[in-house]
Amino acid sequence: MPADFISSLFVFILSAFLGIELIKRVSPLLHTPLMSLTNALDAIVVVAAIIIAGRHETKLSTILGLVAVAASFSNMVGGFVITDRMLGMFKTGKAAKKP
Amino acid sequence: MSPADIQQLIDFTYIAAAIGFILAIKWLGSPVTAKRGVLVGEIASAIAVIATLSDPQVSQYKWIIITLIIGAAVGVPLGMVKMTAVPQRTALSHAFGALSAALIGIAEYYVAAPSVPRFQMAEIGLEVIIGSLTFTGSLIAAGKLQEILPQRPITYKGQNYVSLTVLAAALGLVVALVLHPEMTFLFPIMIGVALIFGIMLVTPIGGADMPTVISLLNSYAGFSASLLGFVLNNKVLIVAGALDGASGFILSVIMCKAMNRSFTNVLFGAFGQVQASAAGAKEERAVKSASPEDAAGILAAANTVVIVPGYGMAVAQAQHKVRELYDILTKKGIDVRFGIHPVAGRMPGHMNVLLAEADIPYDRMMEMDAINGDLPQTDVALVIGANDVTNPAARTDQSSPIFGMPIIDVDKARTVMVIKRSMAAGFAGIDNPLYYLDNTMMLFGDAKKFVGDIVRELSGGSH
């Protein structure tokens, strides 16, 4: 078993537990924005896609990497745009009274 | 700076990004700090992307810039969809996320093949399988939500055995590739089998189960990114994927609890099918129906009103009319609140964003547990396009397929009004005893038109 695996597992377990604790505290009111936000954060795989596409190891890996860049970056941009829009709609009684 | 120094600097930006992601989710916890959460998430992502672009491994920017622009050009319109289309947009973004994770895994494999170390082969295999099945599964879910595909569950005899065999075959191919890395022809077969499994996983699931399925796919998409982090030894992917995976997992647990069902039951139960037969036995009973004038009169005389919206409100696009009703009743000094069931709609929190879009203040939207205690003292409960989540059979009828599911106790209100197209059974095909209660009035018609008519009556009568 590679040494990297253990340290990766360590990071994974801690992040998953932290995630569970944080997400339990998110109000059900915001479950839809939560899903779109975590989607946008998950789109950080774009960094791996950029490296694969930028390394030019084989033609295939470059093409697959470039498709992955487009797919994940669209998630990043779209996820943040829609989360921001949705949150802008959530107003309290006082704020909503304003035109 | 030497390449090693730059690499270290990039790693530091990844640590900063991971902190940003954690803060983003923490701040999303409350509507007061949520916007700040998005901002810190955006900054963290931007820092990580810019740092990666300066990685010395990356050369020839032309195509990377072009694909980033394509991604942004696709992403912005997908971020601007109407709130009613948010469930299918979300399913589509799970598909994109899973696709990119799978493609990167596939690229890694072919760069190293055929001499892939065994341990890494196992990681890549699992990663590509989860990414691939999430990709096709999410596309099917998006198709069902967009109503390109039929929303009803599509089932056949022995389906679960066939599906599980296909999954076992995909996993078996990973084992074969670990033992015989030279058999590279097995890899594309494995991808194909995983893609087929994704289709088979979601096809039998009905529209009413979509909140759980979307959450599960969210979780898979997250874990596929995490696994990719294992393959590439990239910790920021592991953190982001674990957060996303945990989020999807928690939401699926909440959705399952709100339906009193288990994961296995959602995935392998084909819910709608069972109930269609149960619905056949129902008898014809008398219901009371009422006109918009009657409904307006009763609402105007009330002190407290609880509105319970469901998927039908979204389908009829009635949320803006509901907001007019809210305004006019509030102006009359009537206390109007909304009771929202966790699985109302097609994804977690769906009703909340629809009502928020229509400018209804979020402090008027109550969770099921918060509103249920107040319903016995409520004058009018108005159900708009919700069915199963208000079905008292879930409390009383042990033979009902939804027995044990927590519901919003609208039947305990002094008067119940239900806006419904016809007496046809709801999505799950179960008869709803609520409609035959003495204190229930049925308002037959399109939700948008009917609420509009009530609003007209109320505003006409006020001067």
Q: Which CATH number fits domain B292-460: 3.10.580.10, 3.40.50.1220, 3.40.50.720, 3.90.950.20?
A: 3.40.50.1220
B228: number of CA atoms within 13 Å, CB side? Answer: 38
Q: pLDDT tens digits, residue range A28-84?
A: 999 999 999 999 999 999 999 999 999 888 999 999 999 999 999 999 999 999 999
Q: pLDDT tens digits, residue range B354-400?
A: 999 999 999 999 999 999 999 999 999 999 988 888 989 888 888 88
Contact list, B71 vs chain A (CB under 8 Å): 46, 69-74, 76-77
Q: Which neighbouring-strand residues pair with B308?
A: B383
Contact list, A46 vs chain B (CB under 8 Å): 49, 52, 71, 100
Mean pLDDT of B346-360: 92
* Residue reference for tokens 């997992």: B249
The minimal CB distance from B110 to the residues A45, A48, A61 is found for A61
| Contact between chains at B110 and A60 (C-beta distance less than 8 A) | yes
Residue B138 corresponds to which amino acid?
S
In chain A, the residue whose alpha carbon lies closest to the alpha carbon of B21 is A41
Question: Please, which pLDDT band fits residue A95 given cuts at 50, 70 and 90?
Answer: low
pLDDT score of B280: 44
pTM metric for this prediction: 0.89
| Contact between chains at A82 and B244 (C-beta distance less than 8 A) | no
Residue B223 has phi, psi (to 5 degrees) of -70, -30
In chain B, the residue whose alpha carbon lies closest to the alpha carbon of A38 is B244
In chain B, the residue whose alpha carbon lies closest to the alpha carbon of A17 is B246
Q: pLDDT tens digits, residue range B22-50?
A: 999 999 999 899 999 999 999 999 999 99
Write down the domain spans for chain B: 60-269, 292-460
User: Can you give the three-state secondary structure of chain A, one letter per residue?
Assistant: CCHHHHHHHHHHHHHHHHHHHHHHCCCHHHHHHHHHHHHHHHHHHHHHHHHHHHHCCCHHHHHHHHHHHHHHHHHHHHHHHHHHHHHHHCCCHHHHHCC
In chain A, the residue whose alpha carbon lies closest to the alpha carbon of B58 is A54
Are residues B400 and B433 in contact, defined by beta-carbon separation less than 8 angstroms? Answer: no
Query: Strand, coil or helix: what is B418?
Result: strand
> A–B: how many Cβ contacts below 8 A?
368
Q: The tokens of B167 are what?
A: 């999954």
More confident residue, B426 or B52: B52
In chain B, the residue whose alpha carbon lies closest to the alpha carbon of A4 is B233
Determine whether B110 is exposed, middle or buried from the number of CB atoms within 10 Å of its CB (0-12, 13-18, 19+): middle
Q: pLDDT tens digits, residue range B274-320?
A: 444 444 444 557 788 888 888 999 999 999 999 999 988 988 889 99
DSSP secondary structure string, B40-84?
HHHHHHHHHHHHHHT-TT----HHHHHHHHHHHHHHHHHHS--GG
Angstrom distance (rounded) from CA B137 to CA B139: 5
Q: B115: distance to nearest CA of chain A, Å?
A: 15
Please confirm whether the linkage preceding B114 is cis (ω < 30° from 0): yes
Mean pLDDT for all residues in chain B: 88
Q: Which neighbouring-strand residues pair with B365?
A: B338
| Contact between chains at B347 and A45 (C-beta distance less than 8 A) | no
Contact list, B145 vs chain A (CB under 8 Å): none
Which of B54, B78, B216, B247 should we substitute to test contact with A (largest number of A Cβ atoms within 10 Å)? B247
Residues 6+ apart with CB under 8 A from B220: B94, B98, B130, B133, B134, B137, B245, B248
| Containing structural domain, residue A75 | 27-90
The minimal CB distance from A42 to the residues B64, B120, B241 is found for B241
How many domains, in total, are found in chain A?
1
Q: A3: distance to nearest CA of chain B, Å?
A: 10
* Pairing verdict, β B335-340 and B304-309: parallel
Integer Rg of chain A from CA? 19
Question: Please, which pLDDT band fits residue B424 given cuts at 50, 70 and 90?
Answer: low
Contact list, A15 vs chain B (CB under 8 Å): 18, 238-239, 242-243, 246
Q: The tokens of B441 are what?
A: 């009035």
More confident residue, A95 or B249: B249
Contact list, B35 vs chain A (CB under 8 Å): 84, 87-88
Angstrom distance (rounded) from CA B28 to CA B38: 7
Please identify which of the residues B209, B388, B409, B453 carries the catalytic annotation: B388
- The question of whether B388 is a catalytic residue gets the answer yes
**ipTM for the predicted complex:** 0.93
Q: pLDDT tens digits, residue range B211-261?
A: 888 999 999 999 999 999 999 999 999 999 999 999 999 999 899 888 887
The minimal CB distance from B58 to the residues A19, A36, A54 is found for A54
| Contact between chains at A33 and B349 (C-beta distance less than 8 A) | yes
Residue B187 has phi, psi (to 5 degrees) of -60, -50
